[in-house]
Amino acid sequence: MGTDRLIRTTCIVLLCLAGVAFMVYAKSIMAPIVIGIFTAFLLLPACRWLEKRKVPATLSALITITLTGVTIALLLWFLSYQFMSFSEELPLMREKLNEKFMALQSLVTNSFGISKQDQLQWLERQILSAISSSGQFAADFFSATGNFIAAATLVPIYAFFFIYYRKKFMNFIKMVTPPNRHEKAIAILETTSTVSYRYLVGLSIDIAILSVLNSIGFLLLGINHAIFLGIVAGLLNVIPYVGVIIGGIIPVMIALITKDSIWFAVGAFGVCVVVQFIDNNFITPKVIGSAVSVNPLASTIALLVGALAWGLLGMMLSIPITGVLKVVCDRVDSLKPFGYLLGEQEILGGIKKRKRQTSVQQP
């Protein structure tokens, strides 16, 4: 029995590695499909609500997808409008950046005795090195952007068909599972849909709250383009760990460039820290809760694997995909150890408690 379990575990691990390799090589095909699946999970409750009111399934799917597309288009239009207003001040920011740089040069010369010419030569070498090393990155970035725009047109099509053929997928699952496991397989699928829906809705609300709080804080400090910077910081929260850091660096740098006092940058940093503290301790537990209860180690590994497989998009999808895998593992007996490995530490206390209760009940 021990050997069979070891062989089964090894096969599962190898299958997971093969799945990751497949996701890497099939990125252009699988990425829009996965986004389409999560979009279908997000829109499914609204479709069911319309269908209960005698709206045909096809029309309900089209209505929800169209309304979602219009909402996203309006958000992108607002962000592009804010960005155009932000870009108009770039020449002024460049002049102020030159002034800050000249002041920094004088400070380095007076403090360390390094001439301005030596500083410029060192800076020139660093810039040339950065340009040579970032050339491939820029090419990859624009290539990924083009691929994302092309794939984005497929997402609503996939979402529509996943919603429209959801009963067919349920029947397919029944066909490939033994009759005595039909109810369990359907329950896993419904739980996966519910968990994904709660996570995506909670994440959207969390982003909206963070955008408002950041914008208010930056407005009180008098930082230019406070609303745009607040929304960007809120949206970057989608990327676990990394997005929070980038979202905090941008307003701090803008404050350093546009304001004469360093205390504005310190205030912007303080706003980001306070808002993140509120989010971690009050907003996220209430809004998202334990919809995706994945421990930090598993989240970090999932983030790195997602970045390796799909880049920025993989980083954003890593947590919900891991949460879905945990839901499946928790409800399949042979995969429960992996679900425990992905979950929080509190589960261990429940196991010990059950063991103590079992030992007490024994004669």
| Rounded Cα–Cα distance for residues 217 and 213 (Å) | 6
Q: What is the pLDDT of residue 147?
A: 56
Q: What is the mean pLDDT of each run of 10 residues along the chain (363 residues)?
A: 71 81 82 89 91 91 92 86 77 72 73 70 61 48 54 85 90 86 84 85 89 92 88 84 81 83 88 88 74 77 83 82 85 83 62 44 42
| Side chain identity at residue 328, one-letter code | V
DSSP-derived letter for residue 258 is H
Q: What is the pLDDT of residue 119?
A: 64
Closest CA to 102 of 124, 89, 120: 120
Angle at which helices 166-176 and 155-164 cross, to 10°: 70
Radius of gyration of the chain (CA): 25
Question: Maximum distance among all alpha carbons in the chain?
Answer: 87
Closest CA to 71 of 93, 39, 98, 100: 39
Confidence (pTM): 0.74
| Rounded Cα–Cα distance for residues 32 and 145 (Å) | 13
Alpha carbon 260 to chain centroid, angstroms:
35
Q: What is the pLDDT of residue 78?
A: 86
Residue with tokens 């984005």: 152
Q: What is the pLDDT of residue 131?
A: 47
Q: What is the pLDDT of residue 135?
A: 46
Residue with tokens 């997402």: 155
**Pair 228, 83: CB distance under 8 Å:** yes
**Pair 209, 287: CB distance under 8 Å:** yes
**Pair 320, 38: CB distance under 8 Å:** yes
| Rounded Cα–Cα distance for residues 328 and 350 (Å) | 20
Q: What is the pLDDT of residue 150?
A: 61
| Rounded Cα–Cα distance for residues 195 and 160 (Å) | 20
Sorted by sequence, the CB contacts under 8 Å of residue 274 that are 6+ apart come out as 217
Q: What is the pLDDT of residue 350?
A: 45
